[in-house]
Chains A and B, each alone.
Chain A
Amino acid sequence: MQRYIARRVLQSFLAIWVMSLIVFSLARLSGNALDVMLPMESTQEDYDRLAKYWGLDQPVHVQYGIFVARALQGDFGMSWKWPGHSAMGLVMDRLPATLQLAGFALFVSVLIALPIGVLSAVKKGTMWDSGAKVIALLGQSLPGFWLGIVLMWVFAVHLGWLPTSGRGGIQYMILPAITLGWFQVAAIMRLVRSSMLDVLDTEFVKLTRIKGLAEWKVVWKHCLRNASIAPLTFFAIIAGVLMTGSVVTESVFSWPGTGLLAIDAVRARDYQVVQAVVIVFSAIFIMTNLLVDILYAYLDPRIRY
């Protein structure tokens, strides 16, 4: 157990390090670093300031030392597009909006997937089950960005029930959350279904039936509680996926989160901000994955790699 966890921790740090190496070398080694890091219309002063800041006249290994030293302190330089803001400050400002949306999306997708998953397990082999399979297939085949546009078109433009974009009360979150969570619904549903099927077959469920408990109580209380271990650990993975998936959703709904920041920064060629977003997001993504694996190893002792 300890060896496995130690290896996973080491591997996660390696992954973050590789990501930082990619971010570093893409800017420095592909031709002139300043051309990559600044847009064409920037002034000579911008160039000089940046060259001095990152020590671009030094040899590469010194540059990398400067980069790592600054990155470890959360310093990724100043933004070019949003003057007066540090890249890291921008990411931190926008992070709450992204977390809020991802959290709500997780909630919505569980709300949709859980009943369908349970139902398709209980009514295995009937129309309910086939219906759930169709939903799962659609979930894997619909492009998220397009689903967002369709939802916006139907519910915001045609019916006028919900606002099209921006951030405000809960009504602003519904459409983006569905768009973001849609892909996960299929995954959660299948997990719930398969673990419910396992539980429905056990002795203690038969006992609750012999006791004469109401069927709904057997399914929704006794079975679901025992079947939710596997899906629960999966939630952390989903949290990571939702974070990175927010890039697409936020850009569709102009949700002012970190994903939108990343896209705006790429379009404006603001590399300082791009590298801050990418490293922060990668760290969150890789760490949630690590957390899941450790959690899983404790909950299910059969897992050894």
Chain B
Amino acid sequence: MATVTARSRPWYAPPKIALALREARRYPVVALAILMFLLVIPAVFAPYVAPHDPLKGSLAKRLTPPVWQDGGSSAHLLGTDKLGRDILSRLIHGARVSLTVSAIAIFVGGIVGTALGLISGYFGGRIDALLMRLVDISLSLPTILLALVLVAAVGPSFNTVIIVLVVLLWARYARLVRGETLAIKERDFIARGRVAGASHTRIMVHYIFPNVVNSLIVLATLQVGYVILLESALSFLGAGLPRPLPAWGLMVADGRELIVTAWWVSMCPGIAIMLTVLSLNLLGDWLRDHYDPKLRNV
């Protein structure tokens, strides 16, 4: 008699594309390559790589289509916007803006969160209870609204965006680090450190912190994509980076009314955001699965 299995599946060899996809997912070389190409290299070398000044344009050349369309010129590979500024150059400088904003926000948010998480987990008691309530509250605040009210009060600027992002980011680090600290502080080498006369600060910085760095890096990588999406949404709404900064979200907003006549103005930055975030997500997933599978639910 045949055994009853959960489900009898026909055996067949998966198509080649599926296999290739699986390979590509296992080794995020592809994601890394796209990422390097799209984000890091242009961001670092923006003034040398970009063919034109991202802020200056000539009105005579406004709304030039991309090179492969009728009327396009090879001087502006991806065309120009309504002020005649070169889109490719703005994209390249935009990578720099996006990367700077997310790097600063994640770095500051990470430091604040890690410090508070260490203190909370190491000392426990009332400080712990207070800090963790603060984390809960900060995670339950609605993101975009917090940004809107800040911008309404202070006005849109580079610093406002950073502050909004830090307020939104620190809590996850604090929760993560606190959890790990709770486990680590029970281990023998901490007690030995205490016996040897190490201060609390020294224990936290030199004994516990090196043990949470791995998780921190994974979490930070997972967050870069989210931060870039958030920053571009805020800029799109006019609540993020101020004009004339070449931010991707602002560029999409600029091209919004031109969608009928000049599709490339908003399509190019949109595709740039999508590919960047996609490759960052792939990279983050891979890092998490390989170095820190316990982060799956963070």
Question: Which residues of A line the B interface, CB within 8 A?
Answer: 11-12, 14-15, 18-19, 22-23, 26-27, 30, 36, 122, 126-127, 130, 134, 137-138, 140-146, 149-150, 152-153, 157, 200-201, 205-206, 209-210, 240, 244-245, 247-248, 251-252, 262-263, 265-267, 269, 271, 274-275, 277-278, 281-282, 285-286, 289
Contacts and interface: CB of A to CB of B under 8 A. Distances in A.
Contacts of A126: 14, 18
Contacts of A201: 6
Contact of B6 (A134, A200, A289): A200
A208 to B, nearest CB: 11
Interface of B: 4, 6-7, 14-15, 18, 21-22, 133, 136-137, 140-146, 148-154, 225, 229, 232-233, 236-239, 249, 252-253, 255-256, 259-260, 263, 266-267, 269-270, 273-274, 277-278, 281-282
A149 B281 contact: no
A285 B137 CA distance: 12
A11 B239 CA distance: 29
Contacts of B274: 138, 141-143, 146
Q: Is the interface of B mostly helix, strand, loop or mixed?
A: helix
A281 B273 contact: no
Given A143-B270, A266-B239, A11 B136 contact: yes
Contacts of B149: 22-23, 26, 274-275, 278
Closest 5 CB pairs of A and B: A146-B270, A26-B153, A141-B278, A141-B277, A274-B152
A153 B14 contact: no
Contact of B153 (A18, A27, A134, A146): A27
Given A26-B149, A281-B145, A137 B281 contact: yes
Contacts of A153: 259-260, 263
Contacts of B148: 247, 262-263, 266, 274, 278
Contacts of A22: 146, 149
A26 B137 contact: no
B281 A141 contact: yes
A146 B145 contact: no
B273 A146 contact: yes
Q: Is the interface of A mostly helix, strand, loop or mixed?
A: helix
Contact of B140 (A12, A144, A210): A12
A15 B4 CA distance: 52
Contacts of A127: 14-15, 18
A152 B154 CA distance: 33
Nearest to B232: A143
B131 to A, nearest CB: 14
The interface centre, meaning the residue of B142, B150, B277, B278 with most chain A CB atoms within 10 A of its CB, is: B142
Contacts of B273: 143, 146
A97 B239 CA distance: 23
Contact of A18 (B137, B152, B269): B137
B150 to A, nearest CB: 7
Nearest to A269: B152
A15 B270 contact: no
A140 B269 CA distance: 17
B289 to A, nearest CB: 13
Given A22-B149, A127-B15, A275-B149, A149 B266 contact: yes
13 contacts: A141-B229, A144-B233, A146-B269, A146-B270, A146-B273, A149-B255, A149-B259, A153-B259, A153-B263, A200-B7, A271-B153, A274-B149, A278-B149
